[in-house]
Every structure is written in C-alpha cells, then in structure tokens.
Amino acid sequence: MVKTPGNSDISINQTSLSRLTIELGGQRPFLIGIGGCGMSALARLIGEAGLDIRGCDSTPSPITEALSQASISVGFDESAAQLPEDVDVVIASAAIKPDHPMMIEATRRGLTIMSYPEALGVCMRGRTGIAIAGTHGKSTTTAMLGCALTDAKIEPSVIVGATCPQLANGALGENRSPVGYRVGESKIPNGDWTGWPGVLLAEACEFNRSFHHLRPTIGSISQIEADHLDIYGSLDAVVEAFAEFAQLIAPRDQGGKLIIAHDGAHRREVTAGLACSVETIGFNPTADWMIGYEPTTGEVSVCEPEGVTRSWALTMPGEHNAFNSAMAYAIGRSVGADGELLAQSFQAFAGLDRRLQLLGTRDGVRVYDDYGHHPTEIDATLRALVQRENPHKIGGRLICVFQPHQHSRTRFFLDEFATSFEHADMVIVPHIYFVRDSEIEKHRVSSADLVDKLRARKVRAMHLYPFEAIIEQLENLCRPGDLLVVMGAGPVWKIGKGYLEGKMDGGVV
C-alpha cells in the first residue's frame, strides 16, 4: 500500500508474468502485424514481463530487424500453416482483417484473439496509465511527454505512433535512435509519485473507438472535432465516444485526473458526472493551466493552478505545438515530475518523424514533411511555417504537396479542405490515398474536385500524378527561398525525399 497525492490508500497491482498470462489468455502470444509502430512496442512491453513473444508481418523492415535483434521471432509467411501449434493467444493489429489466413486459423482452433488496443489496455491495468486523446496532436504530445518524463527520471514505458530519435534516452540524453517505444521501470523511481506502479504512456486513438479499451490513471483530451465520420457518422457521436473514454479514467481517490482543453473540447458534455478530478488547459486566462505563446521566438509559458509559472523556447513552430508541450507539462507535473526538468526537456526536444519535420535543403529550398491530413491540422501547420520562417519576406513561396487520405474523409470535409490552404502559394494534389473505403466511396470524390474548390478560392492548384511527375514539376517550379511542404498520412513522404535526392526514375517512389 502507498499513499496517493490525495492521501488515500490504494492497492498496487504490479504488471507481472502471472497477471499478463491470465488476462491475455496465455503466456505464448503471437502478434500478427508485429512490424507496426504500436505492435512492435507492445511486443517489447509484453516481452519484458517474461512472455515468449513471436509474430509475423507482410514484409521485412528496420522495425522487424530490430525485433529480431531483440530475440523476438518474426516471420514473413502469413499463411495459416505458419501459426505455431503452441500459440494460446493471437494479438492482431488494426490493419489485419478477419479474413486473414492466420485469423481464420486462430478462430478454427478456438484461440483467444485480441486487438492491439485490447492488449494495450490489459498492459495499462497494472501500471500508472497515461492516455493522450484528442483529434489532433496525440503523437507529438506523447513523444514530448515520454522524453520529458525520461529526463525527469520517472522512467516511463512509452508507445507512440511515430518514430522519435530522442525517445529512448530523453531529449537531454546524447544517444539518438529512431524508435516509437520505450520500456521503463515497473515502479516510478523518483518524484512525488515514487513507488507507484510504473508509468505506461500511450496515445488514445478514437478510430473505431479503440480508446475504450484503455484504463488510464491520467487522461488528456485536446481539441475534439469531427473526424472518422465513416465510423461515427456525426460530431455528436464523436463527442459521445470521448465522454465514454473519460469515464474510464480512475476515480479521484485513486489519483485519477482528466486534463482537458478549456476551449474546443466540448468539455461540458465530456466531463459531466466524472469520478476523476478535472482540470482545464488553454490560452484562455480562466483555464486551470494557462498557456502563453510568442510565435516569433517560440517561447511557451505555463501558469500552474497553484500560480507557479515556467517557460521554455520550443524548436517546433506553431501554436498547436505550444499547446502540445503545455499539455505534456501539465500531465508531467500531475504524475509528480520536477517542473524545471520538464521545461529543460521541452526546450531540447527536436521533434519526431513526419510532424513538421525538416528533411533538408536543396538549392536554397527548405523541405518539410508532415503527417497532417485533417483540415485543422493543415491550416495549423502552414500557418506555423509562415509565422516562423516568413518565406515571403525574402521573395520565397510556400509550396504544398498534399495527398488526401481516404475518399470518405475528402468528401466529408471537401469545403473545409478548400479553406485550409490559404497560406500556401501553390498546392499540388496527387491521387487520394485509398484505404479502408469501399469502391463505391472511391467514385464519389476525386482529387480534381479538391483542386476545383481551391481554384474557386483563388488558390493556385493542380492535380498531378504519378509521384515521379510531381517531383519533375517541383524541379521546374521550386526556386531558392521557397518552402516545400509535403503533407498527408499516406506515402506522400516519398515525394519530399525524392525531390531532395533528385530522383525521378521511380526508384524512390
């Protein structure tokens, strides 16, 4: 028994081999799709508890190679016959469909079958879980907080949906390795929560209501907007799903807390009737955690509920990233981390892959890569770049290559997408990235429809494909002083890399 910060007694259920064996349904799990960021991190986390981890993926990758080097067996033959006979539980990534040969075989054998979020929720039950939710900023906030808690000697376990070179050793550490995970201690070794179960920090994804499987001690919710409407159908349903997530946070007398955006998070609907404590965060002076931000210098300040203010200069531009770092600070303080160490870590944080990532410079053209695929994310990213770099001041332009992600999202937000590029001087749109949608949906909207909307708003835009043709166009279009931003959740990143390397022969794309 230990005392919580609120001086109430709780029982600590440590993550252990026996508990995971019971809750996972066995101690010989097999992970299908083990090469994904989240699945590979989950494999390592479960493996640390002593379970025998094996898995498969469709193709070899640096992630699967790293797993093999960590003595985790990975195969690439996904036929039913390759599902080992002694497996007692199958964990499948979100990309794995029920008609996958190994899933059919697991069903035939009557094995326990779990999704990735279900297995993550099992792991979180025995730890001090921190779940980062919201329509935007989950990966960035999780990576920032993971690095900061590491620098503050909290020694967290972290699972984030992108690679971050600083995650393994903290932003203040010297060693760099692009990973999307960190395996920490079983107990918190430092700070006000010393002796509590070790921290497990993870994104809480709303897609397909995945975050309903998590059991966090501390949760956060940033902005809530309409998204994944192919799943939810309406904004009201999205808000309801976030409210159900908030209900899963531990009660106040067990340290449970929700930190929610003061504005833009439908907080009255989300927080109604919660058993955990609730604190707000935002730029509004009435927020419990009040944020200040100077866009030209990147200085962020946060005033804590008790009145203490700390600040740091953030290398990642944009008000949205200022908010992400402030949210990470509030959560870090809420789990007992030293505020000064957190601030030092944020100041040293260099970012993560595909989140406003500077890929390099070619002939005076600075090339950025970004994962943004929602209208709000696009507007925030382009606005941040113009504020920080101001290419027009030196006669440059902001050129954006944007690949829409899913036909349904493009159709639902067509007008919103058209208004989100006002800071761009030129927009090039390849084919929509086709994933999850039906063939019927595929024929309801096209990239040309978005280009027409952009042109109607006096934005220079063109629809161009394949990727090789776009790189060739960029060769002719870009000039010294320009910013080139490649955006989208699909393989559009290959265009930025191809342009930097001067490859138009299809070898990169």
For the residues 302-313, what does the mean pLDDT come to? Answer: 96
Question: Rounded to an integer, what distance in angstroms lies between the CA atom of residue 388 and that of residue 444?
Answer: 38
Question: Rounded to an integer, what distance in angstroms lies between the CA atom of residue 223 and that of residue 135?
Answer: 6
Domain count, the chain: 3
Do 42 and 142 reside in the same domain of the chain? Answer: no
Which tens digit of pLDDT belongs to each residue from 270-302? 999 999 999 999 999 999 999 999 988 889 999
Tokens at 337, concatenated:
């981390």
In the predicted model, what is the mean pLDDT of the chain?
88
Query: Which residues have a Cβ under 8 Å from the Cβ of 377 and sit 6 or more positions away?
Result: 136, 320, 370, 371
Do 286 and 306 reside in the same domain of the chain? Answer: yes
Q: At what angle do helices 319-334 and 339-348 cross, to 10 degrees?
A: 150
Residue 421: Cβ within 10 Å count: 26
- In sequence order, which ranges of 152-204 are alpha helices (DSSP H)? none
Look-up of token digits 């000064």: 340
pLDDT of residue 136: 85
Contact 156, 332 (CB under 8 A): no
**CATH value at residue 42:** 3.40.50.720
Residue 94, pLDDT > 60, answer yes
Question: Rounded to an integer, what distance in angstroms lies between the CA atom of residue 207 and that of residue 502?
Answer: 37
Last-in-domain residue among 311, 328, 348: 348
Which tens digit of pLDDT belongs to each residue from 456-470? 999 999 999 999 999
Q: Is residue 486 part of a domain?
A: yes
Residue 13: Cβ within 10 Å count: 11
pLDDT of residue 10: 35
pLDDT of residue 1: 25
What domain range includes position 481? 357-501
Which tens digit of pLDDT belongs to each residue from 25-63? 667 899 999 998 889 989 988 887 778 899 999 999 888
Q: Is residue 121 part of a domain?
A: no
Burial (Cβ within 10 Å: 0-12, 13-18, ≥19) of residue 86: exposed
Q: Dump strand ranges (E) for 345-493.
A: 357-362, 365-370, 398-402, 426-429, 461-463, 483-487
Residue 4, pLDDT > 50, answer no
Q: Is residue 48 part of a domain?
A: yes
Do 75 and 170 reside in the same domain of the chain? Answer: no
Last-in-domain residue among 56, 87, 114: 114
Furthest-apart CA atoms within the chain: distance in Å:
68
Tokens at 444, concatenated:
């309801």
Do 247 and 304 reside in the same domain of the chain? Answer: yes
Do 338 and 412 reside in the same domain of the chain? Answer: no
Q: Is residue 264 part of a domain?
A: yes
Which tens digit of pLDDT belongs to each residue from 469-506? 999 999 999 999 999 999 998 899 999 999 999 865 44
* Peptide linkage before 466 cis (omega within 30 of 0): yes
Residue type, 384: A
**CATH value at residue 265:** 3.40.1190.10
Do 164 and 289 reside in the same domain of the chain? Answer: yes
491 by DSSP, 3-state: which?
Answer: coil
Tokens at 128, concatenated:
């001090």
Do 70 and 131 reside in the same domain of the chain? Answer: no
Question: Rounded to an integer, what distance in angstroms lies between the CA atom of residue 245 and that of residue 241?
Answer: 6
CA atoms within 13 A of residue 375's CA, in its CB half-sphere: 19
Q: What is the DSSP string of 39-59?
A: HHHHHHHHHHTT---EEE-SS
Q: Cα angle at 32 between 31 and 34, to 5 degrees?
A: 70
Which tens digit of pLDDT belongs to each residue from 249-269? 999 999 999 999 999 899 999
CA atoms within 13 A of residue 425's CA, in its CB half-sphere: 15
Last-in-domain residue among 348, 365, 387: 348
Question: Rounded to an integer, what distance in angstroms lies between the CA atom of residue 350 and that of residue 359?
Answer: 13
Q: Is residue 3 part of a domain?
A: no
Burial (Cβ within 10 Å: 0-12, 13-18, ≥19) of residue 306: exposed
Tokens at 252, concatenated:
């106040």
> Comparing C-alpha atoms, which of 429, 361, 416 is closest to residue 389?
361
Q: Is residue 507 part of a domain?
A: no
Residue type, 351: G
Look-up of token digits 């609907």: 269
Burial (Cβ within 10 Å: 0-12, 13-18, ≥19) of residue 505: exposed
Do 451 and 330 reside in the same domain of the chain? Answer: no
251 by DSSP, 3-state: which?
Answer: coil
Do 103 and 139 reside in the same domain of the chain? Answer: no
Residue 341, pLDDT > 80, answer yes
Residue 5, pLDDT > 60, answer no
Rg of the chain's alpha carbons, rounded to an integer? 23
Helix (H) / strand (E) element for 248: namely none
> Comparing C-alpha atoms, which of 103, 97, 95, 59 is closest to residue 79?
103
Which tens digit of pLDDT belongs to each residue from 432-455? 988 777 788 888 899 999 999 999
Question: Rounded to an integer, what distance in angstroms lies between the CA atom of residue 307 and that of residue 304?
Answer: 5
Q: Is residue 120 part of a domain?
A: no
Do 286 and 161 reside in the same domain of the chain? Answer: yes
Q: Is residue 105 part of a domain?
A: yes
pLDDT of residue 409: 85
Question: Rounded to an integer, what distance in angstroms lies between the CA atom of residue 75 and that of residue 66?
Answer: 13
**CATH value at residue 477:** 3.90.190.20
The bridge status of strand 29-32 relative to strand 89-92 is parallel
Do 445 and 376 reside in the same domain of the chain? Answer: yes
Do 340 and 377 reside in the same domain of the chain? Answer: no
pLDDT of residue 2: 30
Contact 235, 225 (CB under 8 A): yes
Question: Rounded to an integer, what distance in angstroms lies between the CA atom of residue 418 and that of residue 73?
Answer: 47
Query: Using 50, 70 and 90 to split pLDDT, how confident is the model at 12?
Result: very low
Higher pLDDT, 333 or 508: 333
Percent of the chain with pLDDT over 90: 60
Residue 155, pLDDT > 90, answer yes
Residue type, 469: A
